[in-house]
Amino acid sequence: MILEAARLFWRSGYSGTSTRALTAALGLSTSSLYAAFGSKAGLFEEAVRTYAERYREIYRRAVAEPDLPTVVERVLVDSVLEFTQPEDTHPGCLLSSAVMTDSTSTLDTSAHYAELHTWNERALRARVGRAVGDGEIAAATDAAALAGLVQSVVHGLSVRARLGADREDLLATARLAQKAICASLAPPDPGPDARAHRSGP
């Protein structure tokens, strides 16, 4: 039931999804829908919570990876897989799609999206900070900027999925973006003099 509601919100946004469309899709009367969820807003909240928890799991798994390049790869690749579910699911991210298709500020669609974005970005930022502390990447790395860059790529992939890009194209983009991002992460080369000193005469 929640999945059917999510599909409608995914396709048309909160404002564009009527109570009549919801009751028809769910096989409920208006009174039954209100009894179960309190309101259309309550049903949207439940769909958002269900989706957000599922999508957070991508980041939870990713930040547990042992090295930062794999973290970035998992976030980008697994996001593409989430955004390009089988044909019976609307492409892209539920929350970003709802925000993009809403023409009004009815309900806190943007607030829900901001909360998910903030949680995911903080998880990434903390993982980047750990990589800096472990000496895996350069000490001067701006953790907030790097996390924001990864998130920007994720959002771009979501938009492209919504516009009809296929999974293989998006996966190719995700992998190229991962290589470009990670190419700049290694600690700086100490230079020929330092290398010569370490290697001895």
Residue 174 lies in a domain: yes
The closest of 2, 101, 15 to 51, measured between CA atoms, is 2
Domain count, the chain: 1
Q: Containing domain of residue 135, as a range?
A: 49-186
Residue 65 lies in a domain: yes
Residue 90 lies in a domain: yes
Please tell me what DSSP assigns to residue 92. S
We report the CATH number of the domain holding residue 110 as 1.10.357.10
Buried b (16+ CB within 10 A) or exposed e, 45-61: bbbbeebbeebeebbee
Residue 193 lies in a domain: no
- Dig out the tokens for 112 from the structure: 């829900």
Per-residue pLDDT of the chain (201 residues; tens, 9 = 90+): 787 787 788 777 777 889 999 999 888 999 999 999 998 888 888 888 887 888 899 999 999 999 999 999 999 999 999 999 876 566 777 666 665 555 444 556 566 667 778 999 999 999 999 999 999 999 999 999 999 999 999 999 999 998 889 999 999 999 999 999 999 887 766 656 545 544 555
Residue 27 lies in a domain: no
Residue 3 lies in a domain: no
Residue 22 lies in a domain: no
The answer to whether 83 and 171 have CB atoms below 8 angstroms apart is no
| Residue written as token pair 């901001």 | 114
- Dig out the tokens for 65 from the structure: 């990876």
Residue 27: HSE in the Cβ half-sphere, 13 Å Cα cutoff: 3
Give pLDDT, residue 177.
Answer: 98
Residue 18: HSE in the Cβ half-sphere, 13 Å Cα cutoff: 3
| Cα→Cα distances 40→2, 27, 35, 96, Å | 12, 15, 11, 19
Residue 32: HSE in the Cβ half-sphere, 13 Å Cα cutoff: 9
Residue 14 lies in a domain: no
